[in-house]
């Protein structure tokens, strides 16, 4: 497979990938790499192409700690101007520095249980990477509603809310009823048995009795944060 | 098919049915008839057998208004000592009088939305038929949590709670967290699209983050009330 | 069931419903009625309670033409100051006048096929009811991509996009890649066979390869428009 | 993430968790920890917070033997007044002593097959932890009905029954017909092929032809025991 | 479409059907017609072809009463030597007389509930049509196990058993444990909610803890009887 | 909705549809209308636009007999040069004459059962509409394999095969093993119970052990014929 | 858990199991042990109890090679009169000798592909264990129908047929059409993607267009052989 | 199991397999081996049988690198005239040389994302093995539509297109609208959460709004290439 790096038409041809260098213009956000199933070489190649094309920072999601270590050590030279910082819990790697928070308000990331924190942190770190001030509020599941009501202030002052929950996924319904901000719900695969890998939470959120709630894929903290950031940066 | 009414072994042989005359002894409750898919003749036959065997009242669930009318009119003579009373919303028919409420406490039937009332009433009327004092609390879905919190008093004083909800089925999780009574959750088929006929609510309730919640079949108000009554009559 | 209209705690007790009079304050939008499965009497009762409580207009979704006709004729007196206007295609009824469009930008409602228009119109009329300027762009499914690309201008200038599609539900992925605005995807039940009532489109949208896309329930044009309006009214 | 242990509002803020110190008051039972997916540090932290708050014993479910060993050894000092006892089969850890059995009757845990014992023991040990006298009756699946009928005496004298079964999950239906006590059914993931991880047993139990049966999540021995204990402690 | 009735190669070409005149030789049973979705003309055409080819009787399953009436009246002449007899409950039509019972033993058709009788009768009448002595035993569901145990004699003396049940489909498991005969289980679509049209019963039967049980399609009384007859006619 | 008929960019804007006048160039086939869910007015409008744009004939699938009658009568004037011919079994309407068969070989449409003929005819008539010579071979299901083997000649001489089957959908596997032509499999919704609306046949075909088989949506005779025609017209 | 070996009521109480010593009488076959999820100690205990009770041989299914080795070595003394023989492919262990074949005819085990042989051998070895003469015919999938037709002789002379297939599971349909013997179909989990762990084959077999086919659970070679043996031993 | 290599009737009997030596005649392609679940010995045996029967090359799919290494080293002698070449990414092994490309045109293999390349390469290498000229076009997912439109030239000049995509599987719909060639769609299991192992992509492709698209099993690059080659070799 030829490796001729064509730099036209808004993408860089790497053979195994066409790095989209036009996305920043189109979507007001830079290219992000989904790390799952990509080799260290492939990830490094795409990051290099993007940095070479002028992008200031690159985020890699679903990045195993092993691959991160290899990227940090073996590829240290290639990225010395944009060293890799690794976030263990959400398995995110970021090349380059975090940007200043230039959104209009706060993105609240709220999570039902301790086990949902990995996904919640994927959302939170992504939102920070995209230039948002982030507020975190964890372990406020609806079976202890007083824990949630104790945080009404942060719910009411958020500009966008990312609500993360596994099991029955009821948190967005309650939050959606309390908040005036749009709520982006993230079902997680936390649970067992009839949770069916997050299906129960997903269906629960899609059927939410609260208005103003939309949903992303199971465990897709990144996707929720991406949309939250778009909303938070609307002029 | 022979119609020889054997009256031994704890049941009456009707050919198309073996009316269980032993259940009152075994389960402290009299036989109940599931009306769906049974003809007027079959229902009348079973009711007659049970009454003849000394049962004081008979409940028929899922009874269409048409069949009820036919039973009330055409079969009036057969049941003059135990006339039929029909409950339109839950589609329940009762031959004979309601018993006194001899349970130890109150059964609270709580429902999330107006559309869930038919199922909730199936539970409420069944519980009354089985000798329970029933408290109703409807339209307290979790997207307007203040409506639910305004009824904390009835939640706290109930001995057993039947919680009915469609859509995402989150009500039992919140109620289960607020109450010290056992909660029997009833998912309803209320919803559309990804509710998949109540599957979303069912899965939500089975995955409830609250402890003390168990679940019955979709739209099975009767079953929830039956178990609630068993609990409420424990010495 | 007692009909004492308590007017405290942010809701009006109707027995069969607790009309939420506090929602306008909490969610910057007035109460909306889901018409499916509610009787004409119930709908009329809730509308009256809301209007009596000072709400300026009421929207009823999933309202059958028959019920609408009955509400318009039999209940004409009750609503003479807020006469009912009925939208046939999306089966929406609105009591009172449309408000001025006070959102910050335009809500684009884009639909893949002619058969998706009913759902798209539910979104469009709801968005107008909630004070948004709405742009419509229909029959731009991805199998004739030139039809979509011919409307790049409206896609690029929208502040929020509601993308409606049945079948494989690919439209939001393509639109999400073209637009910088947040995209709320609405799967429809249009299709047959392995569409499984909209499941195919729903799963497609949840797995969208485009960032910035979130999803609501199948055929839930209302929900998408509600969230779009929240976003469009962010200061 | 700040670790300031706020001790107000009925919970202790640990950052990764809000330990619910108010539950004992609300639900007449102390906080329980779901061990799956929590690190040894997190578990130890929550246990310490709860003990510090005056709770007498703490139960941890789904606790791997490895984590248990680490908690018992490395954290021995922290828990010397409440040493950890580990139950291998149900993977339960208990800090502190078992309480006296103060329920009103007996909780019968009945299991269909040898492979269901792990889940049955989760129920049995949990029930003991919550202050119940427990009777066990295992390997009484319905394909050898004489084994079940030989235990009619324990079925009839139980106050609450937890019925555990995998495969087709028929045990609760037969037991429900024999007993006058409420039956809480626990489907297990025991089986293969069309058992689909316990789905067959779950659906079977939800569709039980016996009245008085409710169901909890697949393999949720804990949840069944929790509700059984609530019922057994009703005054 | 040409209607040239080729009579070679073991089938008769009707254009819309190739009536299999060779089956009696291959399978020791005559051709049977699945009536669903076939017009009166098509059914009549196939029956005529088969009778003309020397078959003594023809069975039509899933035959609506309307079509049966039309076949009996309008086509009376065509079938005067093999008049149609219609069985209302199982919706079966038979052209010609029932054969003598020439199987080696008895086929027991056992059904759990009154609502399962339609399917059970499809099995029973089919078995009779195929030359079997049939014993019926209905309404012996497992929630009243004494009703089943009262019929141990017929269970033990049957040569083959067809066990019909809806809901959780537990009957074959109990019967399979009691009998030494092979058991063919027929799940029915009787039920609601999480029965999912018979799926619960089907999965239950496939996962039966009893050995010696095999399963046919939901509501397929015909198929079970066909195999039962094959077994009962083994030399 | 504005009705300005723009005739640029390869489509005609009808408001409710963008008739794709460019497809003939792109796909060597003219626009086809999916009739389901479209009103008579909408269908007539699109047909008129296409004919006005020079298309010689238009095919409408899933066209109810009622709508066809209305189109034939009320709209007779509009289509006098291209009168409507209606095919009852496959519910297809064609405006204009059938074209000559200009494909390179024969398209064989083969169907397993009599009940599959409606779908098979949708494929056959579509293929004729697209300029193919069509061979039909019906009722050759695999349970009477001699009926299929008797037609080996037509199987071997076909250039493309469309294989239609419901139930277990095994026909394409056997045909795929016998033929050297590509096989396009069409699962049908024929069946009951565990056929789940054609899902069983669909999964069967996707898992075919024969190579050279691809699959279209359930009941999608049109789609299979469309691809078959593309293949048959390859130079 | 007490280990008092009660020897009454037809079973031996082992605490973790109630070994069914009455089954030989009831089902004309001795107890069989499902090895999955049982420890070496548990298996050894049940085998000892059964042998002590006079059973001549014991079969253990789903027995890992590791456990088998441990049973053979560490427990050699306990079983010296009934040494363990291990069958690697079907993972079966047999204590004691194979019995003579005393069935009335031949059980034919027929398998579609090489990958299905493990399941087919589970059926074949089980049938031999239960006293049947077994004929094997493997790799005769329907995509090469000539391979199957070449074995018509063995198909026609079998008394019972066990047909094993993965993928689309079409083999039983073709065999069912060719044979006059009852066919017990075994779907296997062989396949990938839309095979969904054998679901495709299972549904295919349940929807078989051939009469005389019944189905057991996915990969349940044992169950099919058990029923086949019952049939083959009918007098 | 006997190993007598019968060489008649178009197959070679290996006991565990019946190598189909007749397929080349029937399907214009040689036998291919599905490597998954076959031992090195079995694979070697089948390859030897086929080569001995005159086949020029053999392809093995789903061949683990470990097995390939063992075949290459330990079996080197057996295959010295047809040495094994291993393709790492698609896990394909080929014994013998690639044939010349003798198809009539080009097979275009187009893939949506970098993670889909393994499946795309299975298709590409298979197509080359079957004598086709292959064009590759990767990472052209629909969320960056400009990358796809930049390759319109290769799309338009292909004779057959294999379109590979995971996630929502939208690529074939867009390509199908742009191309006049038949499109064979391959869903991949790439994705997470609600992708359900490729189900989302599969359903999306089956419901494609583009005509001329058919679908093969999830990850079945081989099957798509096989059909593509059949089409490309049509005279």
Q: What is the pLDDT of residue G16?
A: 76
Q: What is the pLDDT of residue E6?
A: 39
Q: What is the pLDDT of residue C22?
A: 67
Q: Do chains B and C touch (3 or more CB pairs under 8 A)?
A: yes
Closest residue in chain A to residue D202, using alpha carbons only: A194
Closest residue in chain G to residue D110, using alpha carbons only: G16
Pairing of strands C213-215, D11-13: unpaired
* Cβ contacts of D201 on chain E, cutoff 8 Å: 207
User: Of the given ranges (E32-46, F48-62, G14-28, H214-228), which has the lowest mean pLDDT?
Assistant: G14-28
Distances (CA, A) of C209 to A121, C147, H201: 21, 21, 11
* Cβ contacts of E146 on chain B, cutoff 8 Å: 9-11, 22
Nearest in space to D43 (alpha carbons), one of D90, D88, D86, D98: D86
Residue G135 has pLDDT above 90, yes or no: yes
Chains in contact with E, counting 3 or more C-beta pairs less than 8 Å apart as contact: B, D, F, G
* Cβ contacts of F177 on chain H, cutoff 8 Å: 26-27
User: What is the C-alpha separation between C85 and C71, in angstroms, rounded?
Assistant: 10
Helix E65-74 to helix E40-52 angle (10° resolution) is 60
* Pick from F38, F189, F219: CB nearest C115: F38
Q: What is the pLDDT of residue F22?
A: 67
Q: Is G104 on the interface with E (CB under 8 A)?
A: yes
Beta strand extents in chain H (DSSP E only) = 7-8, 11-13, 18-20, 32-34, 58-61, 84-87, 92-95, 106-111, 133-137, 160-165, 183-187, 213-215
**Is E207 in Cβ contact with D167 (below 8 Å)?**
yes
Q: Is H87 on the interface with G (CB under 8 A)?
A: no
Mean pLDDT of G220-235: 96
**Is H150 in Cβ contact with A37 (below 8 Å)?**
no
* Cβ contacts of D187 on chain A, cutoff 8 Å: 193
For an interface test with H, give the residue of C114, C176, C192, C203 to mutate (most H CBs within 10 A). Answer: C203
User: What is the C-alpha separation between E223 and F167, in angstroms, rounded?
Assistant: 14
Q: What is the pLDDT of residue H45?
A: 92
Burial class (CB in 10 A: 0-12, 13-18, 19+), G146: middle
Closest residue in chain H to residue A24, using alpha carbons only: H144
Of these ranges, A21-25, C8-12, G219-223, the one predicted with the greatest mean pLDDT is G219-223
Mean pLDDT of B205-230: 96
Which residues of chain A from 162 to 201 reach within 8 Å of chain B, CB to CB?
Answer: 167-170, 173-174, 176-178, 191, 193-196, 199-201
* ipTM of predicted complex: 0.91
Q: What residue spans define the domains of chain B?
A: 4-95, 106-232
Residue H116 to chain C, least CA–CA distance (Å): 13
Which is higher by pLDDT, A24 or D74?
Answer: D74
For an interface test with B, give the residue of C15, C18, C196 to mutate (most B CBs within 10 A). Answer: C18
What is the CA angle A9-H188-C209, rounded to 5?
45
The secondary structure element, H or E, covering residue D50 is: helix D40-52
User: What is the C-alpha separation between B194 and H198, in angstroms, rounded?
Assistant: 19
User: What is the C-alpha separation between E105 and C87, in angstroms, rounded?
Assistant: 68
Nearest in space to B31 (alpha carbons), one of B54, B7, B62: B54
Contact pairs from chain A to chain B, CB under 8 Å:
118
Residue A168 has pLDDT above 70, yes or no: yes
Q: What is the pLDDT of residue E79?
A: 87
pLDDT 10s digits, G16-70: 777 777 665 555 556 789 999 889 999 999 999 999 888 899 999 999 999 999 9
Residue D56 has pLDDT above 60, yes or no: yes
* Pick from E104, E227, E235: CB nearest G214: E227
* Cβ contacts of B217 on chain E, cutoff 8 Å: 192-195
Long-range CB contact pairs, H190-193, < 8 A, 24+: H190/A37, H190/H113, H190/H115, H190/H116, H190/H166, H191/C207, H191/H166, H191/H167, H192/A36, H192/A217, H192/A218, H192/A219, H192/A220, H193/A187, H193/A189, H193/A197, H193/A198, H193/A202, H193/A217, H193/A218, H193/A219, H193/A220, H193/C206, H193/C207
Question: Do D4 and D13 contact (CB within 8 A), yes or no?
Answer: yes
- Per-residue 3-state assignment (H helix, E strand, C coil) for B58-69: EEEECCCHHHHH
* Cβ contacts of B139 on chain C, cutoff 8 Å: 14, 16-18
pLDDT 10s digits, C91-117: 999 999 999 999 999 999 999 998 999
Pairing of strands A11-13, A7-8: antiparallel
Chains in contact with D, counting 3 or more C-beta pairs less than 8 Å apart as contact: A, B, E, G
The fraction of chain B above a pLDDT of 90, given in percent, is: 72
Closest residue in chain G to residue E213, using alpha carbons only: G227
- Paired with D86 in beta bridges are D93
Q: What is the pLDDT of residue E78?
A: 79
Question: Do F213 and H62 contact (CB within 8 A), yes or no?
Answer: no
Residue A152 has pLDDT above 60, yes or no: yes
Question: Residue D223 half-sphere exposure, CB side, CA atoms within 13 Å?
Answer: 30
Residue B119 has pLDDT above 90, yes or no: yes
Q: What is the pLDDT of residue B137?
A: 96
Q: Is G227 on the interface with D (CB under 8 A)?
A: no
Question: Residue H119 half-sphere exposure, CB side, CA atoms within 13 Å?
Answer: 30
Q: What is the pLDDT of residue H2?
A: 34
Using DSSP, state whether B21 is helix, strand or coil.
coil
Mean pLDDT of B29-45: 86
**Is A9 in Cβ contact with H150 (below 8 Å)?**
yes
* Cβ contacts of E115 on chain D, cutoff 8 Å: none
For an interface test with A, give the residue of D8, D18, D200 to mutate (most A CBs within 10 A). Answer: D18
User: Of the given ranges (B157-166, G16-25, H60-69), which has the lowest mean pLDDT?
Assistant: G16-25
User: What is the C-alpha separation between F46 and F60, in angstroms, rounded?
Assistant: 10
**Is E113 in Cβ contact with D177 (below 8 Å)?**
no
Residue F158 has pLDDT above 70, yes or no: yes
Closest residue in chain C to residue A186, using alpha carbons only: C214
Q: What is the pLDDT of residue A4?
A: 39
Mean pLDDT of B127-152: 94
Question: Do E20 and E26 contact (CB within 8 A), yes or no?
Answer: no
Q: In what order do the strands lie in the sheet with F32-34?
A: F32-34, F58-61, F92-95, F84-87
Q: What is the CA D134 to chain-centroid distance, rounded?
A: 12
**Is B18 in Cβ contact with E144 (below 8 Å)?**
yes
Phi (first) and psi of residue A60, to 5 degrees: -120, 120
User: What is the C-alpha separation between F223 and D146, in angstroms, rounded?
Assistant: 58
Residues 6+ apart with CB under 8 A from H73: none
Q: Is H24 on the interface with G (CB under 8 A)?
A: no
Q: Is D94 left (phi over 0), alpha (psi -120 to 50) or beta?
A: beta
Task: Look over chain D and give the mean of its residue pLDDT values, rounded to a whole number.
Answer: 90
* Cβ contacts of B22 on chain E, cutoff 8 Å: 144, 146
Nearest in space to H113 (alpha carbons), one of A90, C203, C210: C210
Which is higher by pLDDT, D164 or G74?
Answer: D164
Question: Do C207 and C198 contact (CB within 8 A), yes or no?
Answer: no
C-alpha torsion B143→B149→B153→B154, nearest 10: 0
**Is D37 in Cβ contact with A190 (below 8 Å)?**
yes
**Is F16 in Cβ contact with C138 (below 8 Å)?**
yes
| F106-232 placed in CATH 3.40.50.1970 | yes
Question: Do B200 and B207 contact (CB within 8 A), yes or no?
Answer: no
Beta strand extents in D68-196 (DSSP E only) = 84-87, 92-95, 106-111, 133-137, 160-165, 183-187
The fraction of chain D above a pLDDT of 70, given in percent, is: 92
Using DSSP, state whether G107 is helix, strand or coil.
strand
Q: What is the pLDDT of residue E46?
A: 92
Q: What is the pLDDT of residue H24?
A: 59
Categorize the per-residue pLDDT at D6 as very low, low, confident or very high, splitting at 50, 70 and 90.
very low
**Is F214 in Cβ contact with H227 (below 8 Å)?**
yes
Q: How far apart are the first and last CA of chain G?
A: 44
Mean pLDDT of C53-61: 92
pLDDT 10s digits, G147-177: 999 999 999 999 999 999 999 999 999 999 9
Residue F57 has pLDDT above 60, yes or no: yes
Categorize the per-residue pLDDT at H6 as very low, low, confident or very high, splitting at 50, 70 and 90.
very low
User: What is the C-alpha separation between G72 and D46, in angstroms, rounded?
Assistant: 47
Residue D103 has pLDDT above 80, yes or no: yes
Residue E38 to chain F, least CA–CA distance (Å): 7
Categorize the per-residue pLDDT at H8 as very low, low, confident or very high, splitting at 50, 70 and 90.
very low
Q: Do chains C and F touch (3 or more CB pairs under 8 A)?
A: yes
Q: Do chains H and D touch (3 or more CB pairs under 8 A)?
A: no
**Is H1 in Cβ contact with G147 (below 8 Å)?**
no
Q: Is G96 left (phi over 0), alpha (psi -120 to 50) or beta?
A: left
* Pick from B104, B212, B217: CB nearest D206: B217
Task: Look over chain H and give the mean of its residue pLDDT values, rounded to a whole number.
Answer: 90
């Amino acid at each position: 497979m030829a490796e001729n790096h064509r730099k036209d038409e808004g993408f860089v041809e790497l053979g195994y990938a066409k790095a989209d260098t036009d996305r920043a213009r189109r979507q007001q956000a830079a290219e992000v790499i989904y790390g799952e199933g990509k080799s260290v070489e492939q990830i490094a190649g795409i990051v290099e192409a993007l940095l070479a094309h002028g992008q200031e920072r690159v985020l890699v999601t679903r990045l195993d700690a092993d691959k991160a270590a290899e990227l940090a050590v073996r590829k240290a030279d290639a990225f010395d101007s944009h060293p890799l910082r690794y976030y263990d819990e959400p398995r995110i790697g970021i090349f380059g520095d975090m940007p200043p928070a230039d959104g209009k308000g706060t993105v609240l990331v709220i999570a039902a249980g301790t086990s949902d924190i990995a996904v919640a942190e994927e959302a939170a770190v992504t939102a920070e990477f995209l230039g948002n001030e982030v507020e975190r509020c964890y372990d406020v599941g609806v079976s202890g509603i007083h824990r949630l009501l104790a945080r009404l202030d942060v719910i009411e002052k958020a500009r966008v809310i990312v609500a993360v929950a596994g099991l029955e996924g009821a948190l967005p319904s309650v939050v959606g009823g309390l908040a005036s901000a749009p709520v982006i719900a993230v079902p997680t695969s936390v649970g067992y048995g009839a949770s069916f890998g997050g299906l129960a939470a997903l269906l629960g959120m899609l059927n939410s009795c609260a208005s103003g709630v939309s949903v992303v894929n199971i465990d897709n903290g990144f996707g929720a944060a991406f949309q939250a950031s778009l909303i938070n940066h609307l002029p």
